[in-house]
Amino acid sequence: MEIGIIGLGLIGGSFGLSLKKNGHSIMGYDHNKEHLQKALELGIIDKASNVSRIIDSCTCIIIAIPVNATKHVVYDVLNKINPEQVVLDVGSTKAKICSFVKDHRNRASYVAAHPMAGTEYTGPEAAIDGLFKGKVNIICDRELASIDALSKAMTLFESVGLSTIYMDSVEHDEHIAYVSHLSHITSFTLSLTVQDIEQNAKNIYNMAGSGFRSTARLAKSNADMWTPILINNKENLLVAAKAYQKHLESFIKALENADSSNIHDLILEANKIQDALDK
């Protein structure tokens, strides 16, 4: 299958590497010319191209760009495709994009997806063959996509090792605020706080155990990618962040009161996340 990828960063690039390995031919485009050139050099794509030529040639078009730009690009691409083609987007927020294209005459050719995979790095150099292996992909509002589009999308997703669950796009954004976007805010905040006291990077490096490293890892995440995600999912994220503030306040109160029994209970309650993470 001829596949086009618009956006050749971590996610788009990793699709390129993984799909090429499965024998697909990949045309790629990135509005950043250096990234496009790099993607070609790194073997992420077979051919550097542009959006028009991708629409002219590709059965499947994967859009992997910052979420603030996605809805317009999805809409424009849907304007120009024929019924055999399928358009996928693989960004971290889904409700606004799905709402924007809801009434498009070619809505049935669009599959809204969110592969739960990534790292804290960015750009084509960050692309990894195998990034999606064993990971979960969330397809939103599946009932609005045609069986043919879904089937083509599933073939691609399965071939890179993703297993799929289905969800309403509004519900997706609510939940993802808690299990992904909030983690980024807490990591960014942790980093800002530690930098207050540790002006000296060497001190952080020396004193930081693996616990701090894993908690602060997401603080390295790319600002160009994450600013639009956070803004895009602002309403849900504010609900999550305020719930977090409330729990933090309870923890701090227990600490102020040196209330060992309360702290012990809070930790035991927090420990329950283990059931979810160790499955």
105 contacts a second copy (rule: CB under 8 A): no
Nearer to a second copy, 52 or 255 (CB): 255
Convert 226-249 to b/e letters by CB count within 10 Å (16 or more is b): bebbbebbeebbeebbeeeeeeee
Q: Work out how close the CB of 275 gets to a second copy at its nearest, in angstroms, rounded to a whole number.
A: 5
The 3-state DSSP composition of the chain as helix, strand, coil percent (nearest 5) reads 60, 15, 25
Can residue 221 be called a binding residue for a second copy (CB under 8 A)? Answer: yes
Q: Which is nearer to a second copy, 42 or 266 (CB)?
A: 266
Q: Which of 120, 125, 129, 168 binds a second copy (CB under 8 A)?
A: 120
H-only helix segments in 66-181: 67-80, 95-100, 147-159, 169-176
State residue 122 phi and psi, 5-degree precision: -150, 160
Stretch that binds a second copy, among 22-30, 95-103, 144-152, 240-248 (CB under 8 A): 240-248
**Among 41, 136, 148, 158, contact with a second copy (rule: CB under 8 A):** 136
Footprint of a second copy on 154-183 (CB under 8 A) = 165, 174-176, 178-180, 182-183
16, 28, 118, 123: residue in contact with a second copy (rule CB under 8 A): 118
Compute the distance between CA of residue 95 and CA of residue 176 in angstroms, rounded to an integer. Answer: 11
Residue 22 contacts a second copy per CB under 8 A: no
Give the separation between CA 143 and CA 162, rounded to whole angstroms: 20
